[in-house]
Structures are given as C-alpha cells and as structure tokens.
Structure 1
Amino acid sequence: MDLDPGLAALRAPGGFFPLRAAAGPPRALPTLAEVYAGRPGHVHGDPLDFRVRKVAAALRAPEPRTAASVAHLGLAARLWSVALGCAALYGRLPALDPGRLHWDPDASAPDDLWLPEVIPSGRAGDPAALADAVLRGHLVPLAAAVRARHRLAPGLLRGNAASALASAARTLEQWARAHGRPEVAARTRTLTTGLFADPLLVGTGTLTGTAFRRRSCCLYYRVPGSGVCGDCCFTRPPRSSPRAASG
C-alpha cells in the first residue's frame, strides 16, 4: 500500500498510532531535533523539562526522575507506534527524521506528534529501517537528553525503549486479529522479533510473541497509589531503594 498524505491507515488502531500529518500545527511547536539538542526559546522554554514537570504534576511523582522515566516511556511508545504501524500497515516508512517531527510538550497523553508533510523515506518497512528511524534516529538522542537532566541509568532507558516497542506491537497485533487482518498481525510479530535482535535492545528482557518481561524497572511503582507495570522485572513493588531497579 502506498503512503497517503494523511497516513489514514494509522487511525484504525487508534490510541498511540495516529499521526497528525499534512496540516498546520495550532501554534509553533518544537521539532524533536530541537528537543534532543536542548534548545530553549519556545513558548514552554525547554520543552523536555516542561514535559517532565507536567508529568510530575499529573502523577504527583515523588521525585523528578520518576516523572522523567514516565515521560520518556510515553514518547518512546508514540514513536514506536507510528513507525511500527506504518511498517505493518503500509509496508514502508515515511521520513520521520527528528528535524521533521514536531512535538507538543503541553499535550495530554498520548504525546501529540505532527508531521508537516508525508514524504516516503525510500526504505521498506523492515527491522533495519525501523531501528534506524526510531532507535538510532530518536531514542538514542532522547535518552541522552533525558540523562543530561536527570539521574537515570542507561539500562532503565533501554528497558523503556524495549517496553514501549513490545506494548505497541501487542496493541497492533491484537487490533489486527480482532479486525480480520492476519497478515498485519504476522508482519507485526516478525518486525518486532527482528527489532529485539538489534544490539540496542538485546538483553533488555524476554520477548515471547509480543509478551515482554523487562529486566529493569521504569520506577512507575513509586507513583502514589500505583503498583508495578505488567512487564516489570518485579512482581510486587520493592521496599528497598529504587536505585537497584534502574540499571
């Protein structure tokens, strides 16, 4: 299937998958390249710091690094959902360069991403293309930007990247099976298996189909009234310091 100007196929799974495309943003929004580079000057100052503060207030997070991990996980999930959805539904990827994707740090979840124009990337939607577009194009510089501001271990952020991918794959596969799209479900599983063989995701956890058990903890259990996530390395919230869970 050819990419269409509005990436309409991404609307069907809903949730984290749709991407605003070929329409102007409601106001000047930073590109993700600017976010990763830590360039202030937008209406919210430093967009990443603003987002972490917004998440912290919404969750009543006890410490900034918990909110930073949750914010990182949310944006990673959006990026994986868009790219994996395109690869599974269209068989190819649009150009999703950080300099082209705009982000609204003040939006509610899921993160609001905007692409001014859909341009084919020239690459088929295979695991290598997805890894280049999302892992290396976005999640490596995003992790660096988060770690420059907050004390989060690289292993935690790699675990977030893996968890976000598994969640996107699970949602897409379930939607595809429920709507009579077995070829999309099969493609999703094949792509996900290939991506988990990438050196940046190897060792982050155990993938069984699209079910995932990570080796690290995102720290969400520290949010008041929460428990552990479904893919957490813990079966119950630990009583000791979360530092041991962040590696």
Structure 2
Amino acid sequence: MVTDVRAVLADVGRLSPFFLVGTDPAAAAEPGWRPLRDLYTDPRPLRDRIAHVRRALDSDDRVAASITFQGLAALVLSPSLAAVAVHGVLPHLGPDVLHWRPAEAGPWALWCPDPSGEVVADGADALAGALFDGHLGPLIAAVRAQVPISERLLWGSVASSVAAGKRLIGVERPEIADRAARIAERLLDTGPLAGTGERRAPTGPDHGWSFRRRSCCLFYRVRDGGLCGDCVLNRDR
C-alpha cells in the first residue's frame, strides 16, 4: 500500500483543473459534497447539469448530454491517469469515496477525504479495472437514461479524454511523455475503448502519436462550435 497518496494527488492536480482532487479533511464541513455513486443513481443532478449545459450552449438535448458527459468523464479519469503515468500509483477513487459538488460554471470539484492507493506494475490494466466498471460504465448508463444518445459516441469521448490527458501530461512533464503515451496506448486498446479511434503520426504538442476518434461529440452543432482536433469529421480536411 501507498501511504502518501495525498501528495501524489496534490502533485498531479497542478497539471490542470481537470486533474485536481481535493483531499483536505476539513472540506467535510463544507456543504454539498456527495459520493459520485449518487450521480449515477440519482437522476436529478445529472438532469440539471445537462439542462444547464443546454441553456449555456443554446443546444439540443443530445449535444448537451454529450458535452456534459465529456466534461465529467475527463474529470473522473484524468487524476488516476496522471497518478499512474507520473508516479506509478493507482489511487483508490471508487464511486463511494470520491465525492463531487455541483458548481454553476466550470468543472465540478472533486474531493476524497482519506485517499489510499497502490503501486501498480501494469498501469493500463489497473486503470481499466478501476475506471470502466466503477465510473465510466455507470456514468454512460446514467446519461443514456436521460437522453437517447449513442453509447459508441460516449465511449469515443472517453477515448478522446484519454488522449488529451496523455498530451497534457507530456507537455507539462516531458520526462514522463514516453510512459504516458505507452499507458494511454494500452488503455485505448482495452475493453470498450478498443476500436474507438486510431493513432496517427504525432502533430502539434503530441508525443509518440496523435489520436483520431471514429465518432463525433456533436460540438460542431453548437453555434460557432467548429470541429475538435481529433474529430472523425476532420478526415477529409
């Protein structure tokens, strides 16, 4: 077992707000924290978040559900991806110990009051086991219970978030770029992420490879939204 997972999470939280998990026990006194499992079983918070995104983007339900999901998926997977890539540590952030608190704007805050974890030899397999069944599968089911949207599209958004996380880790911690690319590559070939996209020669800040997904998150349907860099619709451009 690893005793200083709190320090690991504090370190990777400096990469980006999407990698941040608060661990201060004093935050328990702050109102509004709920276990993430509640987000997967209580339909109201997710329904309210999708409605908020729909109003903010002036979009339809499918676009709002897709964008909502992509933001939440990135929040859930990024801290563990970075902890495994940077420190070789898998934090135990299951749906009963990882908490969220709604926010009107920007990413929701995440908090784990007493984090534990373990050193992992095979980071991709450990990540897949922790994330797919514990968080991402239930989150996909919860979103699809609200809005009829393709499961394949949502898993494609998970894959996109994995590739984006790998890119940011490589930029912020160049000495870790090779390891991050290897772990992300393995993860993209695992379970429901297999076949969601293809790896190509690296462009821009990418290290090792760039990712092109085989689905579209529908952001192009937002007014002035355009196409994401890894969108399947870029194939002819």
Consecutive unaligned residues of structure 2, counting only runs of 5 or more, are 201-207
> Contact conserved, 1:54 with 1:106, CA < 8 A, in 2?
no
Structure-2 separation of matches of 1:32 and 1:121: 21
1:234 corresponds to 2:226: no
> Contact conserved, 1:21 with 1:118, CA < 8 A, in 2?
yes
- Count how many residue pairs are aligned between Structure 1 and Structure 2: 225
Secondary structure of the residue aligned to 2:173 is helix
**More helix by percentage:** 2
Q: Indicate the residue corresponding to 2:38 in structure 1.
A: 34
Question: 1:141-198 deviations in whole A, cap 9, x for unaligned?
Answer: 0000000110101111111111111111111111112xxxx1x212111110110110
Q: Indicate the residue corresponding to 1:59 in structure 2.
A: 57
Secondary structure of the residue aligned to 2:32 is coil
1:131 corresponds to 2:128: yes
Consecutive unaligned residues of structure 1, counting only runs of 5 or more, are 40-45, 237-247
Secondary structure of the residue aligned to 1:151 is coil
1:115-194 equivalences under 5 Å are 115-121=112-118, 123-124=120-121, 126-177=123-174, 182=175, 184-194=176-186
Deviation of 1:18 after TM superposition, in Å, equals 1.7
Report percent identity of matched pairs. Answer: 37
Which of 170, 173, 197 aligns to 1:205? It is: 197
Alpha-carbon RMSD: 2.1
Which of 48, 58, 62 aligns to 2:46? It is: 48
Structure-1 separation of matches of 2:189 and 2:82: 19
Deviation of 1:111 after TM superposition, in Å, equals 2.9
> Contact conserved, 2:89 with 2:120, CA < 8 A, in 1?
yes
Please give the TM-score of this superposition, normalised by the length of structure 1. 0.84
Q: In structure 2, give the amino acid aligned to 1:22.
A: D
Structure-1 separation of matches of 2:104 and 2:173: 28
Distance verdict in 2 for CA 1:107–1:90, change over 3 Å = farther
Question: 1:27-85 deviations in whole A, cap 9, x for unaligned?
Answer: 1322111111126xxxxxx1111111121222222x11211100100011112210111
> Contact conserved, 1:93 with 1:125, CA < 8 A, in 2?
no
Which of 73, 77, 94 aligns to 1:97? It is: 94
Structure-2 separation of matches of 1:4 and 1:203: 33
Q: In structure 2, give the amino acid aligned to 1:186.
A: D
